[in-house]
Structure 1
């Protein structure tokens, strides 16, 4: 089975926010954010923008680029952690924002930063049933509204973005190989937003404001990720038959500058191989991996014969990888 990327497009909301501006707001030293997080600029949505609107904009761009309309889709998957309302699911709101009356099925996949990889794997499984021909996946993250301005480690790291990809079964394209995902529940409480769910709805008068913001135990999260990464990649090498260095391109989730540098050094990846977007977008949660794929597809005239590794980690703690063999 081969799958063609008919189109892939991104939408960067609002305007570029430079790290110097955030450093000035927080009263921290100039250059601190780039030194510690690796981010020069990120995009933060305007106050009137929604997750559904961002996703619909990226999806409409992808449909137009492919010469399609929403009526040509057989399925749409929203893959992300951000949402406008707890109910209904985002995919339905995105369809409404597209202003289509088409009744193709749609649903959400949320595994935070690995949402796109999980959705891509699910799309491949649907294609194997040979009942669907065209599937759209869209990841949209509006993380800026859940950031604590008193926490420079997260406030300077995360950005907003939306990416949509249109996939079709075709004689040309890529062959998906060796999907592999694990989860270590030891990391379940290392990155979270305490308030907003069923445990704490935030309805009592003394609910602290900071409990609505994203927080993470960075040191423990990095330590656990590094501990899990080596055996994970050892197993993935057995499944795929390739080391990370054997790929033409490696697109990792953009955890941080430190994460990218450690990964590249440990697995002997050069600057050409590693698709590094952290400096110009920040960590965009589920949109990070598809942003890297989008930029790569637009920069490369022809991916024929290339092997691409998509790999990342997510809150939970989860690790995932998937090979695209063109």
Structure 2
């Protein structure tokens, strides 16, 4: 009988555009100021995909190529690609299929997942389940979003928050007691009206009216989302701790979705986790939606040691939220 496999992160890649949109730049575009943005969100700058010949699939492709180079893996060895994104290149065609074509992943099947800012964690659990089944040996999970394509830069409430980027991880099987250990996820569709893009779907297909009404841009009730995010992320992390008999002192690192510094701080504080053990890069990238957690893994990969206990947690539109417990393995 085959030994039970766990899914371990063995490779990490990332990409952010070169173009930087600073708070000072935004001061010239809308009525805001840098000090207010920093005090309310913790964001100082964000990356924007300025080349309009490129799209989400290109950022994901750059991240995957970076991963393959770092992990020294041949593209033909990849079995499956899952892309978490809310900003696909096209309707109907999965962004994951385009990534496979651009990266030469000729033996992989591919699909997209949309759970907004929770998307990477949802896709990560799906990918780890495929590896745990012993049917797939190398699965790439990507979080990528080109938020600049759906942000109204005349709306000061949303344009200060979002940036573009992509991150990717390679999952492989292990029979050791490492890798993805547990996940807790929740969804509440009643929250949909508080964070969404009203136009472009089957409810409000693109038309002259949806364009004139600016329905193709992100709309957010910041106060509702703020409170729900703290509650959802804190409760899901607490559930992970309880289900796995972990004390907060057992946790080496918390990697939260980078939506707002005050949310991150509130979650860490509620859990009793010092900020020195919380990974934060929102000041440099802003909210990159599905890309925030894999970009944090990419940024700080040198800090993670074998057998470290790591909790990943996110909250996003839908509402969707949850947490995943990973016992860190070894990168290739």
Give the TM-score category using the shorter length: over 0.9
Say whether residues 1:65 and 2:65 are aligned partners: no
Tell me the distance in 2 between the aligned counterparts of 1:322 and 1:177.
Answer: 8
User: 1:70-219 maps to which residues of 2 (within 5 A)?
Assistant: 70-100=75-105, 102-170=106-174, 174-204=178-208, 207-219=211-223
CA deviation string 1:286-313 (max 9, x = no partner): 001111112221x32x611210000111
Tell me the distance in 2 between the aligned counterparts of 1:18 and 1:236.
Answer: 37
Aligned length: 323
**Structural RMSD (CA):** 1.9
CA shift, 1:230, in A, is 5.1
TM-score w.r.t. length of structure 1: 0.92
Tell me the distance in 2 between the aligned counterparts of 1:99 and 1:325.
Answer: 31
Tell me the distance in 2 between the aligned counterparts of 1:183 and 1:202.
Answer: 27
Structure 2 residue aligned with 1:308, among 303, 307, 310? 310
Tell me the distance in 2 between the aligned counterparts of 1:142 and 1:280.
Answer: 16
Q: Which residue of 2 aligns with 1:53?
A: 58
CA deviation string 1:249-269 (max 9, x = no partner): 000011212211211222222
Q: Which residue of 2 aligns with 1:260?
A: 264
Matched position secondary structure for 1:28: coil
Residues 187 and 224 of structure 1 are in contact (CA less than 8 Å); yes or no, is this contact kept in structure 2? Answer: no
Say whether residues 1:38 and 2:39 are aligned partners: no
CA shift, 1:224, in A, is 3.0
Gaps of 5+ in 1: none
Matched position secondary structure for 2:11: strand
Residues 230 and 266 of structure 2 are in contact (CA less than 8 Å); yes or no, is this contact kept in structure 1? Answer: no
Moved more, 262-271 or 213-222: 262-271
Gaps of 5+ in 2: none
Tell me the distance in 2 between the aligned counterparts of 1:303 and 1:290.
Answer: 17
CA shift, 1:201, in A, is 1.3
Q: 1:278 to 1:173 in 2, by over 3 A?
A: farther
Q: 1:90 to 1:229 in 2, by over 3 A?
A: closer
TM-score w.r.t. length of structure 2: 0.91
CA shift, 1:60, in A, is 1.1
CA deviation string 1:65-115 (max 9, x = no partner): 111222110111111211111021111111122245x13211111111111
